[in-house]
Amino acid sequence: MANDLDNNNLSNLLRSYNDDDKRGLKERWEMQLEKLKINQTRALKIMQMESRALHGLLKGTGSRVDIISLKKLSRFLEISVGEAANLYLESLKKPKEEQIHTLERRKFIAENFNLKELKNEGVINDATDLDHVERELIRIFNYDSIFDYRKDVVNPAYSSAKLASNVQMLNYWIEYARKVFRKIQNPNPYDRQALIEYFPTIRWHSMSVEKGIWEVIKVLYRMGITVIYLPKFKKLHIRGATFSVNQKPSIILSDYKGNYATIWFALLHELHHVLFDWDDILINSYHISDKTDFYTKVEVEDVANQFAKDYLFSDEKVQEVLPHYNNHLFIEEYARLNHVHPSIVYTMIALERDSWGWLQKFLPNINRCLGVVKNVNHNMSVSEVAEFYNEKIYNLSYEEN
């Protein structure tokens, strides 16, 4: 048609106009209707224009435009044809720019998140709905944009083959933990000497399944050491980790294997790193303790592991009780005299005998230890988790929970 122009020819009509006015055709159209106090039907009759032609101009949905309709619209809006044409071309760009940005966001999500595992862990509901995924991740991390996600590089000295095989989930776990610690904002300075002086009393608290570990965690908080429990990711064989957040120690404990003794072992293991490896952690920003624990003899962190074992129940003590492991009254009394829970003694015996099938009946239910913390889940935002710990653990007595 003679009256049809494509985008290239349309540029011949462009004239200069006020660059400071960022209103598009649609906004100007709505303002003009308001100014004239008429509705769209009346305006179309005045311009003698069809609704479809108007919508094509206002929404920028076509690659060709009827120049007569454009002239009619420009007169109605009281602007030049060139200005109307320029605004129309701008409206054509927006959908394409939005499509490109959407593609970039989705590509970023696919490259940096293991959507299948996040769905399996209850973080997201639908791994195929990327709009849902993006909304949930932004909510969980309290981001303004998905591009705020901080990717990390896992230090191979602190990771096993198991960890390296699932770097996306490990990076997610690290970023989530760091955000939680920053939201908690422990105001207390790190006091290494206070930790050294407090250390001899820690083991005694293991005798109280329901309250012991939280009593220790509250004391550590006042020393500038923030400790939280986060539920495990099934395919990340991590029992604990220590982070440097605001130059202060921050420790995560997990219920890997669901063993009460393992949680205490993990705490002592991480506190060893705080005491003796803190300079390295400050440089690397975190230290991850992988699947090496009571259930394996492959000890990649020999010193920290041996320290935790010696502190809780040494190899020498294990040899003393080993002949009596079937005598429950003997084990209970020996544990009491050594200020540890009997399950720790039994776990050490199981490690020595490399036999685990019989152990479960001597372990307290892990939920007794976790208490209200068992309600923390992977779908909670970092703000919700931080608020939970500030209110329920650090600032209130455990009895009030």
- Which pLDDT tens digit goes with each residue over 163-198? 444 788 888 998 999 999 999 999 999 999 999 999
Same domain, residue pair 218 and 121: no
- Beta strands 286-289 and 240-245 are antiparallel
Amino acid 96: pLDDT: 61
Domain boundary residue among 49, 76, 107? 107
Residue whose structure tokens are 């949680």: 263
Overall average pLDDT of the 78-104 stretch: 77
Same domain, residue pair 217 and 342: yes
pTM above 0.75, yes or no: no
Domain boundary residue among 107, 134, 168? 107
Token pair for residue 288? 């991850």
Amino acid 273: pLDDT: 92
Same domain, residue pair 103 and 140: no
**What is the maximal distance between C-alpha atoms in the chain?**
103
Same domain, residue pair 212 and 315: yes
| CB-CB neighbours of 68 under 10 Å | 14
Lowest mean pLDDT among 55-64, 132-141, 334-343: 55-64
Say if CB 123 and CB 235 are below 8 A apart: no
Q: For 211-262, write each residue's pLDDT tens digit.
A: 999 999 999 999 999 999 998 888 887 888 899 999 999 999 987 778 899 9
Return the higher-pLDDT residue of 314 and 289: 314
Provide the domain count of the chain. 3
Lowest mean pLDDT among 22-36, 59-73, 110-124: 59-73
Looking at the predicted structure, is the pLDDT value of residue 291 above 70?
no
Token pair for residue 81? 């044809």
Range of the domain at 325: 157-400
Amino acid 159: pLDDT: 33
Same domain, residue pair 245 and 377: yes
